[in-house]
Amino acid sequence: MSNNIILQVEDLHTAFFTRKAVIRAVDGVSFFVREGETLGIVGESGCGKTVTGLSLMRLLPEPSGRIIGGKIIFDGRNLVELDKQQMRAYRGKMISMILQDPMTSLNPVYTIGDQISESVKLHQGLPDDMVEKEVISALRLLKIPAPEQRLNDYPFQLSGGMRQRVVGAIAMSCHPRLLIADEPTTALDATIQAQYIALFKDIQQKTNVGIIFITHDFGVVANMCQRVAVMYAGKIVETAPTSVIFKAPRHPYTAALINSVPRLDRSKDDRLDSIEGQPPSMANLPPGCRFAPRCTVVQDICRKQEPPEVKVGDEHSVSCWRVN
């Protein structure tokens, strides 16, 4: 891991414009990713994790979704300002993405060889025999057994775990510098999950790719990420190095999330903690701190004013009135 920052997101705002309301799915999010580093973005369903990922790819569902503010600085350029053509040159080449469900993310009517070589041909402009070599090396990178024979297989001939490796091979085939993994292990069995994570740690060592790992599972974060950003209702409420966040979470939401992860060192008679209530509707946010309605240590001010972001340690900042 170097100190070389490849992605800097500043005050990103993404909204969906529907007939009834404007939904601010991502509301002023800032973070950065270094080369060879994994940043975890954690939060409940609907908190804006996936929309953040899609915003970085500039692949929001059209025409309703739009980036309405902020900067996405990648490799010295602001991606928000690029036109469609320019953005396409980044996608799949410099920035890649892995989707959640391997059963649906591969095209059922094309062979996996075809689906991987498509990217290679498009972005690297290689002659045909070189393309096949690149495809096989991508399959090898993902530790897919007998890659030469897999080229002519169709997705339905592979297991879920293997398919997710193929999706990984597509993502890594053009040697991207940033990989956005949107819950890539959620749809996999627990044993396959662990394998997949180990595989990506290994790939990161070999390629020095920066990874944004979107997940709702703090267990996965502990395993995979150097730093974590905790998202709640479209905002990042706490960001810290992984080692710090498990020992000393400062935001009540982070603490509650960590407490809701099953652990081996707890008595089996202990009930697993859960967070009362539901996340607020993004179309109708409460005033003040968005977590206030569910917070167990809520104060008066929390319901009136949004807490500012406060730096509490090395690369550790929190937005909570309790911290001030």
Nearest to another protein of 24, 91 (CB atom):
91
The answer to the question of residue 243 lying near another protein (CB under 8 A) is no
Among the listed residues 279, 285, 318, 324, the one whose alpha carbon sits nearest the alpha carbon of residue 301: 324
Nearest to another protein of 60, 229 (CB atom):
60
The answer to the question of residue 99 lying near another protein (CB under 8 A) is yes
The answer to the question of residue 43 lying near another protein (CB under 8 A) is no
Distance CA(257)–CA(51), nearest Å, equals 21
Give residues with Cβ within 8 angstroms of 189, minimum separation 6. 160, 161
| Minimum gap (Å) between residue 237 Cβ and another protein | 28
| Minimum gap (Å) between residue 304 Cβ and another protein | 40
Q: Which stretch binds another protein (CB under 8 A): 93-101, 236-244, 257-265, 307-315?
A: 93-101
The answer to the question of residue 75 lying near another protein (CB under 8 A) is no
Which of 24, 34, 49, 123 forms a contact with another protein (CB under 8 A)? 123
The answer to the question of residue 50 lying near another protein (CB under 8 A) is no
The answer to the question of residue 93 lying near another protein (CB under 8 A) is yes
The answer to the question of residue 159 lying near another protein (CB under 8 A) is no
Distance CA(256)–CA(313), nearest Å, equals 20
| Minimum gap (Å) between residue 293 Cβ and another protein | 33
The answer to the question of residue 177 lying near another protein (CB under 8 A) is no
Distance CA(214)–CA(177), nearest Å, equals 17
| Minimum gap (Å) between residue 90 Cβ and another protein | 7
| Minimum gap (Å) between residue 206 Cβ and another protein | 21
The answer to the question of residue 105 lying near another protein (CB under 8 A) is yes
Torsion of CA 85, 90, 96, 97, to 10 degrees: -40
The answer to the question of residue 52 lying near another protein (CB under 8 A) is no
Nearest to another protein of 171, 295 (CB atom):
171
| Minimum gap (Å) between residue 175 Cβ and another protein | 14
The answer to the question of residue 122 lying near another protein (CB under 8 A) is yes
CA angle 113, 138, 115 (to 5 degrees): 25
Which residues between 252 and 291 bind another protein (CB under 8 A)?
none
The answer to the question of residue 170 lying near another protein (CB under 8 A) is yes
Q: Which stretch binds another protein (CB under 8 A): 6-14, 32-40, 66-74, 90-98?
A: 90-98
The answer to the question of residue 175 lying near another protein (CB under 8 A) is no
Residues contributing to the site for another protein (CB under 8 A): 57, 59, 88-93, 96-97, 99-101, 104-111, 118-119, 122-123, 154, 156-157, 167, 170-171
